Amino acid sequence: MEHKKTYVKQTYEIDNKQYVIEGPVPAQDLEHMTFDEGLHSFRYPNEQFEAIKEISELPEGRIYVLKHEHHIIGYVTYHYPDPLERWSSGKLPYLIELGAIEISLPYRYLHLGTELIKLSLSQDEIEDYIIITTEYYWHWDLKNSGLDVYEYKKLMQKLMGYGGLEVFATDDPEITSHPANCLMARIGSRITIKQLQAFDDIRYMNRFFF
């Protein structure tokens, strides 16, 4: 499958400062940017910066960034699911995972996370994909948000909803291990019934137990 990547960019003026959301950003452009120290939800900032550079070089990989001047203060990643997870078991070339979204804490008041999601899923080629995200409560910043897991779940579902993602049921053990976890997906308008059935077969891999 050829992975078309159409570059998009949007500028925002807030408090007399200019912020930019753009992507997919290639690795050579990321090399000229700096990465905020507050982006540490998944690993140390310098390690995460290297990780998103690597994702940007994958054939299917997409990195969208929120930045002030050349300083990255937020990002969202898209790539194939981890080979160790069930979502890669069908080897579906049209199944892409929204792997991570993160906004540095001092900049969350800008409320640009919704714009980051919307812009990253705005290109026509997205209609050729099923985009999934697996939401696990242990990845959430509950401490700084002041929310409990269920309030944060509603927050994440609302955020992903701006990109057209909806909640889908599954028997995946990691997701069913806690009621706050969930699977969300956006089904592209050009996805066929056969492709959707293949996705359904991955969502429910333990049907014989029922």
* Structural domain count, the chain: 1
User: pLDDT by residue (tens digit) across 166-210?
Assistant: 999 999 999 999 999 999 999 999 999 999 999 999 999 876 544
In a domain, 1, yes or no: no
Cβ-contact 120, 181 below 8 angstroms: no
In a domain, 47, yes or no: yes
In a domain, 63, yes or no: yes
Whole domain around residue 94: which residue ranges? 8-203
**If pLDDT is split at 50, 70 and 90, which confidence band does 17 have?**
very high
pLDDT score recorded for residue 7: 98
In a domain, 208, yes or no: no
pTM of the model: 0.94
d(CA 22, CA 124): 16
d(CA 137, CA 142): 9
SS3 per residue for 25-63? CCHHHHCCCEECCCCCCCCCHHHHHHHHHHHHCCCCCEE
- Name the 3-class secondary structure at 61: coil
Query: What number is the average pLDDT over the span 106-133?
Result: 97
pLDDT score recorded for residue 207: 61
d(CA 62, CA 117): 12
In a domain, 69, yes or no: yes
In a domain, 32, yes or no: yes
**If pLDDT is split at 50, 70 and 90, which confidence band does 39 have?**
very high
In a domain, 67, yes or no: yes
The residue among 41 and 44 whose pLDDT is bigger is 44
- Name the 3-class secondary structure at 136: coil
d(CA 126, CA 106): 31
User: pLDDT by residue (tens digit) across 122-153?
Assistant: 999 999 999 999 999 988 888 888 899 999 99
In a domain, 15, yes or no: yes
Which of 21-25, 82-86, 138-142 reaches the highest mean pLDDT? 21-25
pLDDT score recorded for residue 210: 45
CATH number at residue 85: 3.40.630.30
| CA nearest to 78, candidates 65, 60, 94 | 60
**If pLDDT is split at 50, 70 and 90, which confidence band does 32 have?**
very high
